[in-house]
């Protein structure tokens, strides 16, 4: 019989897949090429996500007296692509759809190249010899990002009537399913979260999220909407990838890693929501039409 954790995981994955499918339904085949045609935007995005933030997180982990496993989880976030449903957030803050879609695809591809480097650094910092399951890593990206995005784009291109019928419905159902799964996860994992809140874990997560938003905002280019999109992308990373990477390096502290992943995920969602509200406000960059 299926256990509770497996059932919750399946529910969360279904919610994520539906949201990413909806993003693909609203995209075009040439959207992934947007950042290829404008390489400066792509370089800015990758610099924020995969250079500045990993270096900052590595320094923070070295300076903070964090409990075992916490630092590995935070470093795992710093080299993960964005959380798949981020695409809705990226467009909600004014990001151009082709920029948002292109950033999602580019970050996923770059993460595959950056992850081995960060694993080497983590192993060096924590003086451990990690085991990395490249197949599991690829499958997570494929199932939660690659397949639903490609399927959505294909339906929009070749079955436009079906795309119009599905469009919006997939997002609404996905949001409800994801919310139910998230609530169930928090209820079943509250003790794990409480177990890592001390010793600077929450403070470290909040600092990383705030710096991520700032770095993405500053490097997002001249368009206010794209700055907001990159800011939230830099902060909202894929928890499944972060968990997999951290466990692969320090498997003996799986509970601490899971708790840290949940703490960071909650912090990123809450603080990013506050950033979005400011960004869209009359006094914010989006509200001023910058």
pLDDT at position 100 is 87
- Burial class of residue 289 in the structure, from the number of CB atoms within 10 Å of its CB (0-12 exposed, 13-18 middle, 19+ buried): exposed
pLDDT at position 181 is 84
What distance in Å separates the CA atoms of residue 8 and residue 191, rounded to the nearest whole number? Answer: 17
pLDDT at position 106 is 84
pLDDT at position 213 is 97
- Per-residue model confidence as pLDDT tens for the chain (290 residues): 557 777 877 888 888 888 888 877 877 666 656 666 788 888 999 999 999 999 999 899 888 888 888 988 898 899 888 887 777 788 888 888 888 888 888 888 888 878 777 677 666 766 655 556 667 777 877 888 788 888 988 898 888 888 888 878 888 898 898 888 888 888 888 888 888 877 789 999 999 999 999 999 999 988 999 999 999 999 999 888 888 777 777 777 888 888 999 999 999 999 999 999 999 888 788 765 44
Which H helix or E strand runs over 136?
A: helix 134-141
Q: 72 phi and psi, to 5 degrees?
A: -65, -40
How many other β-carbons are positioned within 10 Å of the β-carbon of residue 221?
Answer: 17
Token pair recorded at residue 123: 């192993």
pLDDT at position 232 is 95
Token pair recorded at residue 149: 């995005």
Specify which residues 237 forms β-bridges with.
Answer: 82
What distance in Å separates the CA atoms of residue 42 and residue 106, rounded to the nearest whole number? Answer: 8
pLDDT at position 290 is 46
How many other β-carbons are positioned within 10 Å of the β-carbon of residue 110?
Answer: 17
Which tens digits make up the pLDDT trace of 192-241?
888 887 778 999 999 999 999 999 999 998 899 999 999 999 999 988 88
Q: Would you give the DSSP letter of residue 167?
A: T
What distance in Å separates the CA atoms of residue 182 and residue 176, rounded to the nearest whole number? Answer: 10
Domains present along the chain, CATH in parentheses = 4-278 (1.20.1530.20)
Q: What is the chain's length?
A: 290
């Amino acid at each position: 019989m299926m256990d509770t954790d497996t059932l919750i995981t399946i529910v969360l994955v279904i919610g994520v897949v539906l949201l990413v499918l909806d993003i693909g339904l609203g995209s075009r085949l040439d959207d992934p090429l947007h950042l290829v045609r404008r390489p400066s935007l792509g370089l800015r995005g990758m610099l924020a996500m995969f250079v500045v933030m990993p270096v900052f997180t590595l320094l923070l982990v070295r300076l903070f007296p964090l409990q075992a496993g916490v630092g590995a989880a935070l470093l795992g976030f710093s080299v993960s692509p964005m959380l798949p449903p981020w695409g809705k957030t990226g467009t909600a803050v004014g990001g151009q759809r082709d920029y948002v879609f292109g950033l999602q695809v580019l970050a996923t591809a770059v993460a595959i190249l950056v992850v081995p480097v960060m694993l080497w650094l983590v192993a060096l910092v924590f003086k451990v010899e990690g085991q990395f399951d490249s197949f599991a890593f690829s499958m997570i990206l494929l199932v939660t990002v690659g397949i639903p995005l490609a399927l959505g784009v294909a339906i929009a291109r070749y079955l436009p009537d079906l795309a119009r019928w599905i469009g919006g419905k997939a997002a609404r159902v996905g949001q409800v399913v994801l919310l139910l799964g998230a609530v169930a996860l928090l209820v079943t994992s509250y003790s794990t979260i409480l177990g890592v809140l001390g010793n600077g874990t929450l403070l470290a997560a909040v600092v990383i999220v705030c710096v991520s938003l700032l770095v993405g905002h500053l490097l997002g280019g001249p368009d206010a909407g794209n700055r907001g999109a990159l800011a939230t992308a830099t902060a909202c990373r894929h928890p499944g990838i972060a968990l997999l990477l951290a466990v692969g390096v320090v498997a003996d502290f799986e509970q601490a890693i899971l708790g840290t992943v949940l703490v960071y995920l909650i912090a990123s969602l809450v603080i990013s929501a506050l950033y979005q509200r400011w960004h869209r406000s009359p006094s914010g960059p989006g509200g001023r039409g910058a």
